[in-house]
Amino acid sequence: MADPIHQFQIVNYFSLGKIGSVNLAFTNSALYMGIAVGIIAALMLGATAQRQLVPGRMQSIAELAYEFIADTIRNTAGEGGMKFFPLVFSLFMFILVSNMVGLIPYNFTVASHLIVTAALAVLVFLTVVIYGFWNNGVHFFKVFVPSGVPVLILPLVVMLEVFSFLIRPVSHSVRLFANMLAGHITLKVFAAFVTMVGGLGIVGWIGATLPLALTIALTALELLVAFLQAYVFTILTCIYLNDALHPGGH
Amino acid sequence: MDPMAAKYIGAGIACIGMGGAGVGVGTIFGNYLAAALRNPSAAQGQFGNLIFGFAVTEALGIFSLLIALLLLFAL
To 5 degrees, how large is the angle CA A208–CA A2–CA A32?
105
CA distances from A56 to A38, A49, A59, A71, A137 (A): 21, 12, 5, 22, 46
Q: Which residues of B9-45 are buried (b: 16+ CB within 10 A; e: fewer)?
A: ebbeebbebbeebeebbeebeeebeeebeeeeeeeee
* Residue A175 to residue B54, Cβ atoms within 8 A: no
Running DSSP on this structure, what letter comes out for residue A147? T
Please list the pLDDT of chain A residue by residue as tens digits (250 residues): 567 778 888 888 888 888 888 888 889 999 999 999 999 999 999 888 887 778 888 888 999 999 999 999 998 888 888 999 999 999 999 999 999 999 998 899 999 999 999 999 999 999 999 999 998 888 888 888 888 888 888 899 999 989 989 999 998 999 999 889 888 988 888 888 888 888 888 888 888 888 899 999 999 999 999 999 999 999 999 999 998 898 876 5
Query: Which residues of B sit within 8 Å Cβ distance of A?
Result: 48, 51-52, 54-55, 58-59, 62-63, 65-66
**To the nearest whole angstrom, how far is the Cα of A164 from the nearest Cα of chain B?**
11
CATH code of B33's domain: 1.20.20.10
Rounded distance between C-alpha atoms, residue B70 and residue B61, angstroms: 14
Q: For residue B64, what are the domain limits?
A: 3-74
The nearest alpha carbon in chain B to A239 belongs to: B52
**To the nearest whole angstrom, how far is the Cα of A175 from the nearest Cα of chain B?**
6
Q: How many folded domains does chain B comprise?
A: 1
Of A142, A122, A159, whose CA–CA distance to A244 is shortest?
A: A142
* Residue B66 to residue A170, Cβ atoms within 8 A: yes
CB contact A73 to B (< 8 Å):
no
* Residue A171 to residue B63, Cβ atoms within 8 A: yes
The nearest alpha carbon in chain A to B51 belongs to: A232
Please list the pLDDT of chain B residue by residue as tens digits (75 residues): 888 899 999 999 999 999 999 999 999 999 999 999 999 998 888 888 888 888 888 888 888 888 888 888 877
Residues of A in Cβ contact (< 8 Å) with B59: 171, 175
